[in-house]
A and B are shown apart, each in its own frame.
Chain A
Amino acid sequence: MSDTTALAIYNVSKRFETFRALEAIHLEVKKGELVCFLGPSGCGKTTLLRIIAGLESCDEGEIVQYGKTVTQLPPSKRDYGIVFQSYALFPNLTVAKNIGYGLREKGMEKKETKKRVKELLALVGLSGSEEKYPSELSGGQQQRVAFARAIATKPSLLLLDEPLSALDARVREHLRQEIRELQKTLGITTIMVTHDQEEALSIADKIVVMNHGVIEQIGTPLEIYRHPKTLFVADFIGKINLLNALYRGENLFSVGKLSFSVHLEENALPVEDQAAKLLIRPEDIKLYDAEAENIIEGIVLKMTFLGSFCRLFVSINGLLENVLLLDLPHKLLLRDAIREQSPITLAIAPKDIRYFLEPTHA
């Protein structure tokens, strides 16, 4: 553990009756980082956050905050602020009293508390809302108050439990950028739980992808997207085409009657006849032009309009069972007069094809 480590989690496990909620979780969070726990519901991300907060105890493992073991400490003795999906603003207290709730507890003077509340409200852009009640604010405004309340005591760690999922799409997008900016300005180490991959990809320094109580991969958004380490991550983050393939030597994988040329990775060299899965992102499949490799032909089955681009479902000649997804800009579709039932010729660059090898039986 280095000096820049704000939070370290060693070998944390948790069971509910027979259900394995978390299994041997290892994780380090650096000072000032924004880390997202991302995964489907029931993957253990919220449980992990609650264990960090001390709201849930773990069966095994250790949690260290700035070199100090906090595993056994009650929440009140730990140093963090928390924001919940429901905001959990006390409805019978005014905005000022909500934000000042923990300050008075820490022995702050009344006058000083008032000043700090004012400062915090200015920070989240709600100056002058001191005497309002939560029910008089919009969802987005309530979330800002919850955020101000969480950072009121200047904690060294901020925990966000799906803070944006109760808001509608536009407010959500706006607020997440705002949270990111505030977090950077304050330099506060932050952990955010979310099931929204777009949210995680757009604001996180580091994403922790979780599934069935284990960490599947830790990495920057780009790493997670471009270099998924497991099939789960590949499939969960963004859209992807998965093809069952066999290695035929000379950088070639066969899929059905076709074969694909692939850039081999040095730490995953296949042997002849080894089974593998090929992974191709929809945006990596291009329309054919003269210099292309891995040329395939097919017929457009269906087109779905998705705003800036169009998603095509293409049945590929020689690939009986697979339908490839690909995303193309409208301009190209118009230029080539592509519509449903059109024949289409495509190409995939070898560097854009990734593969996972199945274990060999040898």
Chain B
Amino acid sequence: MRSVWEDSNRLVLSALTLLLTLGLCVMILAPLVQILAQSFFDATHRFVFLDNFIDYLSQEKSLRLIRNSLFVALTSTLIVVPSAFGFAYALMRSRMPLKPFFRYVAFLPLLAPSLLPAISFVYLFGHQGFFKPWMGGSTIYGAWGIVLGECFYVFPHIVMIFLSALSLSDARLYEAAQSMGASSLKKFFTITLPALKYALVSATLVSFTLVVTDFGVPKVIGGDFNVLATEIYKHVIGQQNFALGATVGVLLLVPSVVTFIVDSFVQRKQKAVLGSKFVLYVPQKAPIFDTAMLIFALVIALFFLIVLGVSFFASFVKFWPYDLSLVLKHYDFSSMDGGGWDSYFNSLSLAFWSALLGTIAVFTTAYVVERGKVFPHLRAFLKLLALLPMAVPGLVLGLGYIFFFNHPDNPLNALYQTMGILVVCTVAHFFTASFITATTTIKQIDDEFEDVAESMGVACYETFFKVIVPIATPSILHIARYFFVNAMTTVSAVVFLYAPSTTLASVAVLNMDDAGDISSAAAMASVIVATSLVITLAFDMLSHVALKQSQQWRKAR
């Protein structure tokens, strides 16, 4: 074998691979191992293996929690999957007008913390809700409120799955079917649906897992209806019972891991379905169908805009719903729980650093995994580490961070209670999706670039900065935006990790709602949405400029 030391390129790549593997081990693997280990010990640090789980699962109360979580998750999934499918189908397969508008609206929920839809539903149907007088004896607090909120929160994730699956279908199959005289219905059932079966499995699992592991919505609107996710929060924050938190956390890990495994299997299948060359499907004009799809899309868009708009509007209202005059007083957070405007600037800082460091970490990791050339086994392990966060709910990751970083023997202990740990945790939490984006982009770049450069004696990092990064700029911007927006809106992992000097806006929403200051909570949530929206638009513009500048060399012949 060739010695590494003689070859500077290999030296650089080897060092990077080792460094990144070590980094991801600390950021992802160690906290996870810690929480798993914790769940096998009792309060006196005695190894009890599965006893914690057996104890927990034998309680009547726990079984009720699990039943509740299952009910909410299954119901939301049953509603979201068909409606998201319909929405994606309308976007891809009809010629309804206003498609760009609908696309934007469908992705709006991504810009808000999951607490926001719940707050809106409280405004609409809660104790002082707008529609309260017409609701008779029924209440929004509980299972149905949670389901409504979760539908809003999960919808864009599921639409995305269907959009990408629908964009893969081959027009030639439809032309062939048409030439054989197949009806639209027959085409749908023999071509469209079979091609979507993997996406359907994916969508169902992802929806189920997102709902089971979300705690923002049930926290705000759940009332006495408790679920597993809120339970962890109560154990850890309310009672400081970390051991029990770990046990419930590991239980939450189960559906996520199952989803992760099935999904990666399904993804592989989906790829096998794809031919090397396919012709893009272009929908034909069909007035009745197009109108039906338009009405459907309008109903959903309206629902979304109302949910977002209510919180926004209510945050300016003097005393909902009795005095609707507009005031700004709810935006004065100084007398509130949660850290006031400082928490907003903390959030901005967290979002900035996560976007910067996260993008660098993700893109370098993806590059090394795809093009590293050295240590093939270590790179396979690195890839696994990069994919792992997808399988870990934020609450579980945050809890793992407490166990790992707060351990007195850990030299990284100094990070605890700083902005640093929030950045590290956020980068880890949202690593996988951006890693997949980066990997896809790098895969599309000719791998002979590196070979050519190497044969000319050009260092690998030079080619990386001069060629690879410019080609991948749009995707790099996309990743940075993703990190920024998620860092603004996330609650789950960071809720365990913030300190008095590092309070966050999204957590402030939670705390203000908890303290009964729902108008201020809505105000802070609106500030978050507005910021995310501005950042999204700014990044879109930046991408546009970047694309325009590189138009000369990007244009296909």
**B467 part of interface (Cβ distance < 8 Å):** yes
Provide the bound-state CA to CA distance between A101 and B450, in Å: 12
Q: Say whether B556 faces chain A, with CB atoms less than 8 Å apart.
A: yes
A74-B9 CB under 8 A given contacts A84-B448, A135-B557 = yes
B553 with A88: CB separation less than 8 A: no
Interface centre among B455, B458, B462, B471 (most CB of A within 10 A): B455
Query: Is A228 positioned at the interface, with any CB of B under 8 Å from its CB?
Result: no
Is A105 located at the chain interface by the 8 A CB criterion?
A: yes
B449 at the interface (CB under 8 A from A): yes
Closest chain-B Cβ to A51's Cβ sits at a distance in Å of 11
Cβ–Cβ contact A73 & B6, under 8 A: yes
List residues of A (122-139) whose CB comes within 8 Å of B's CBs. 133-136, 138
- Are A93 and B2 within 8 A (Cβ)? no
* Smallest beta-carbon distance A140→chain B, Å: 12
Q: Are A92 and B458 in contact (CB under 8 A)?
A: no
B8, B446, B556: which has the most chain A beta carbons within 10 Å? Answer: B446
B556 touches A74 (CB 8 A): no
Interface size class of A (residues with CB under 8 A): 20 to 34
Are the C-beta atoms of B456 and A91 separated by less than 8 Å?
no
Given contacts A76-B9, A84-B451, A105-B456, A57 and B553 within 8 Å (CB-CB): no
A-B contact count (CB 8 A): 95
Task: With CB as the reference atom, state the residue of chain B lying closest to A84.
Answer: B448
B219 within 8 A of A: no
In the complex, whether B60 has a CB less than 8 A from a CB of chain A is no
B552–A133 contact, CB under 8 A?
Answer: yes
A36 part of interface (Cβ distance < 8 Å): no
Asked if B6 and A82 make an inter-chain contact with CB atoms under 8 angstroms apart, the answer reads: no
Asked if B454 is an interface residue, CB under 8 A from chain A, the answer is yes
**Complex Cα–Cα for A150 and B149 (A):** 61
CA distance A145 to B467 in the complex (A): 17
Q: Which residues of A contact B552 (CB under 8 A)?
A: 133, 135-136
A88 to B75, CA, bound (A): 52
Task: Let me know if B7 and A74 touch, CB within 8 A.
Answer: yes
Name, among B452, B458, B466, B550, the residue most crowded by chain A CB atoms within 10 Å (CB to CB): B452
Cβ of B451 and Cβ of A91 under 8 Å apart?
no
Cβ B6 vs Cβ A105 within 8 A: no
Among A53, A93, A133, the residue within 8 A (CB) of B466 is A93
Contact of B455 with A88 in the complex, beta carbons under 8 Å: no
CB of B442 to closest CB in A, whole Å = 14
Q: Which of A72, A81, A91, A153 contacts B553 (CB 8 A)?
A: A91
Which 6 A-B residue pairings sit nearest by Cβ, starting from the closest?
Answer: A102-B456, A74-B7, A88-B448, A133-B553, A76-B457, A75-B454
Q: B residues within 8 Å of A by Cβ?
A: 1-3, 6-10, 446, 448-449, 451-458, 462, 466-467, 470-471, 550, 552-557
- A84-B448, A102-B458, A136-B552 are known; give 14 further A-B pairs, CB within 8 A: A54-B455, A73-B6, A76-B458, A81-B456, A86-B446, A86-B448, A88-B446, A91-B471, A92-B467, A92-B471, A102-B455, A102-B456, A135-B552, A149-B456
